[in-house]
Structure 1
């Protein structure tokens, strides 16, 4: 396009790609509010539901584990389910971001600043 200007000729194309990526990121951020993952522990006795952004939205506990003598076990299962949900949320968010950055030629392990 602009011969003799070196890489500046690609600047308009780069700006267009950046604008498209910005819109894709805004759309993805909105979609991530609605995407959910479910973390489990105790073979499904405790389930924690989280948005992909990591906000806990639900906690389901099978009543069979409510034994007063095993309070610590129940607490551990709840924490494990929440941590599992958070890990799955982070993985899903990274996967969704990777779909956007793939087209830009960025490294596979590139972390977005948000």
Structure 2
């Protein structure tokens, strides 16, 4: 029993390390999102850090339109980044979970 407990603890530590490594890797994953007409593009990391915004000159003429484009495009980019982030971290955590009787609902 004690050996099983030590094995579980080691597996949990390994999983925690893999989760941290995955978090660091996700900082380098870039996602580009463009407006439907291509006038605005946003580059964001999977950790939801904005890296770049490109705006077509014609959008600079209409403040309200630019604001709308920014909100829509940034929200789409953030949603994609969040989805990637959650899926990656969930996969690492699920793979690293020790087999604990009664906890098979996580699989």
User: What TM bracket, shorter-length normalisation?
Assistant: 0.7 to 0.9
- Report the aligned-residue RMSD: 2.0
User: Aligned equivalents of 1:32 and 1:88: distance in 2?
Assistant: 13
Larger radius of gyration: 1
Residue 14 of structure 1: CA displacement?
0.8
Higher RCO, 1 or 2 (CA under 8 Å, sep at least 6)?
Answer: 2
- List runs of 5+ in structure 1 lacking aligned partners: 3-7, 109-114
Task: List 4+ stretches of structure 1 deviating above 4 A.
Answer: none
Residue 76 of structure 1: CA displacement?
0.5
- List runs of 5+ in structure 2 lacking aligned partners: 98-103
* Residue-by-residue CA offset, 1:62-95 (whole Å, 9 max, x unaligned): 22333x3x32111100121111111111111011
Whether the 8 Å contact between 2:18 and 2:92 is mirrored in structure 1 is yes
TM-score by length of 1: 0.75
